[in-house]
Amino acid sequence: MPKSRPRPRKPIPSFRSEQEEREFWETHDTADYVDWSQGR
């Protein structure tokens, strides 16, 4: 099976506080922002 083309990733926004970051990740999927294929 050929490898699928990698999706373009969205830039992770800057956050003013940890609370703001938590609220962001509660409603967004990390797969849209982070390339987990390179994770170990």
The pLDDT tens digits for 1-30 are 566 666 778 999 999 999 999 999 999 999
Whether 37 has a pLDDT exceeding 90, the answer reads: no
pLDDT given for residue 5 in this prediction: 67
Residue-level pLDDT at 4? 67
Name the band, by pLDDT with cuts 50, 70 and 90, for residue 36: confident
Q: Which two tokens stand for residue 37?
A: 């294929």
Angle of CA points 30, 38, 40, to nearest 5°: 95
- DSSP letter at 31 equals G
pLDDT confidence of residue 8: 79
Specify the pTM.
0.67
The answer to whether the beta carbons of residues 8 and 33 sit under 8 Å apart is no
Distance of CA 21 to the CA centre of its chain: 12
Backbone angles phi, psi at 2, to 5 degrees: -70, 150
